[in-house]
Chain A
Amino acid sequence: MFALINFSYLAAAICFILGIKGMTKPSTAVRGNQLAAVGMLIAVIAALLHKEIINYATIIAGMLLGAAIGVWLAKRTAMTQMPELVASLNGVGGAASVTVATSTWLHALATDNLGTTGWTVAILVSIVIGAVTLSGSLVAVLKLHGSIGDSGRNRAWQLIALLALIAVVGGSAQFATGTGAQPLALAALVGLCLILGVGLVQPIGGADMPVVVALLNAYSGLAGAATGFVLDNQGLIITGSLVGASGLILTAVMCKAMNRSLPNVLFGGAFGQSGSGAKAQDEGDFYAGKVKYATADELALLLDSARKVVMVPGYGLAVAQAQHAVKELASQLESRGASVSYAIHPVAGRMPGHMNVLLAEAEIPYDQLKDMDAINPELPQADVVIVLGANDVVNPAAAEEPSSPIYGMPILNVHKAKTVVVVKRSLSPGFAGIPNSLFIKDNSLMLKGDAKDVLQATTRAIKDL
């Protein structure tokens, strides 16, 4: 029976690996996800066969309750809220690891069956990472949701995090040597780890939350792997490290897209913290008389003769709920024989790949969604590029002005297109807090207004031509 159970965990891990492999192509991804779910079913059945299990009532009650909450969450979450959902699920995963480790340890204590030092260390690791993931994710969710802003007391929070870290390390060392191994000490340790998680995430700016969410995703996986060490369960270890690797890669992708190192994101504070009063003055001078404005009718005329049109959606587009309006305009252009594609910067949404999901929801075919490396070589051939609610990611200063704070950040080279039309409510700066030299380029036109209204007006104007 022991061998059967362990082979089942191996089978589950293989399903997860093949499931993720399915996710490498949109056409096989649905099957991949289903395969992973089958793997989970195998793992659950195997777990139920363990000979230690004498009480099924608690398990079934927990599963039913959790499944009900899960279905509710999955059904009610809007695609724009996906970052909050994923961040919440990271936190829930962390909490699950903490509770499993704590429960296992308490059970071992009660039956006088505590394991080796290595076992205790594994317990501590899953508790520390799990609890930090839990409270860190909670702060990330609140920041994504806008419930808490960025506090001015970053240094204070970093000090709290440092003190909590020292206390956690000291407490864990005490605990591992066995001298302080009391249930109360464990509870105190969990509390300290929760404070540590808040202290680590609170000083990070809301704009950097995509990186934090990806990193916490990795943590939730690593916490799971640690739980695998606690239970001597290799299936869990494999799965935990898969999730850990996924989170770490996505973290690296996001950091690279923002041209910042991970330590800079985590401890450096956002780069736009200097006084904004003087800056506003500079901006007036920066743009004065150099920005050319256009109307929706003019844009329609421009598009009428365009063969190759590229849309650059930013988060502003999602805020304006304009995805369907883009799709409508695109269909109209395609019916007139133009090719339409979408250039998506890695940080366009609020989490990795978020913009793609939002556009897919509006039934835009995924083969028209191009990532930065694929679209940049094509942009010089584009007749018209329409920038919708994106700002910093199309700022040529990142490529041309070494003095700019965003110099070196990979951008979409929309300024190389024949004509760029920027649809924006105002000239206000993006997250980086700097003016955008794209707006004053000779080939750029500004169309002030709400993305949805502008797009609908343009579509109407084209139909009337």
Chain B
Amino acid sequence: MEMFVLSFTIFILALFVGVELINKVPPTLHTPLMSGTNAISGVVIVGAIISAGSTDLSPSVAGALGFVAVTLASINIVAGFLVTDRMLNMFKRKG
């Protein structure tokens, strides 16, 4: 229970940090912000890695789902960061 209270406190504080931070992002960069946060939300790969790796090689539903989870999270991370980079480089160059 103490763990939950602690986690919840962190959750709420991080929301405030998020609001303060994101409010400073100019509308010009809102699309790259969205694809960038797409990539960042791929951090669930941490949970996916633990699920996929903690079952041994004998086939199980939990292991298969872990594999699917790693794949999905990797898609988010790789596609998100690459496409954000592609967009931001367009903003970097001056016409």
Contacts and interface: CB of A to CB of B under 8 A. Distances in A.
Are A and B part of the same complex?
Answer: yes
Contact of A353 (B28, B63, B76): B28
A246 B75 contact: no
A101 B11 CA distance: 18
26 contacts: A23-B25, A24-B25, A33-B88, A40-B40, A43-B43, A55-B54, A55-B57, A74-B82, A74-B86, A86-B34, A89-B38, A97-B44, A99-B51, A104-B47, A107-B55, A118-B1, A214-B34, A232-B3, A234-B7, A239-B41, A243-B41, A245-B15, A245-B18, A353-B34, A356-B29, A356-B31
Contacts of A21: 21, 24
Nearest to A330: B95
Contact of A55 (B26, B56, B94): B56
Contact of A229 (B1, B4, B21): B4
Interface string B60-81: 1111011111111111111111
B50 to A, nearest CB: 6
A175 to B, nearest CB: 17
Given A21-B21, A24-B25, A107-B62, A353 B86 contact: no
Give the interface size bracket for A toward B: 35 or more
Nearest to A72: B79
A17 interface: yes
B54 A241 contact: no
Interface of B: 1, 3-4, 6-7, 10-12, 14-15, 17-19, 21-57, 60-63, 65-95
A98 B31 CA distance: 25
A42 to B, nearest CB: 10
Given A47-B45, A99-B51, A240-B11, 8 more contacts: A16-B40, A17-B21, A52-B53, A55-B53, A67-B74, A99-B69, A235-B46, A250-B33
Nearest to A213: B34
B62 A106 contact: yes
Interface of A: 9, 12, 16-17, 19-21, 23-27, 29-30, 32-34, 36-37, 39-40, 43-44, 46-48, 50, 52-59, 61-63, 65-67, 69-71, 73-75, 77, 79, 82, 85-86, 89-90, 92-93, 95-97, 99-104, 106-107, 110, 116, 118, 183, 213-214, 217, 220-221, 223-225, 227-250, 253, 327, 344, 346, 349, 351-354, 356-357, 360-361, 363-369, 371
A37 B39 contact: yes
A62 B95 CA distance: 41
Contacts of B80: 70, 89
A292 B1 CA distance: 71
Contacts of A104: 47, 50-51, 62
A103 B65 contact: yes
With a 10 A CB-CB cut-off, give which of A46, A100, A233 has the most chain B CB atoms.
A100
Q: Which 8 A-B pairs have the closest CB atoms?
A: A66-B74, A245-B18, A70-B78, A353-B30, A62-B70, A53-B53, A74-B82, A352-B30
Contacts of A346: 27
A230 B25 CA distance: 31
Contact of A233 (B35, B47, B94): B47
Contacts of B39: 36-37, 40
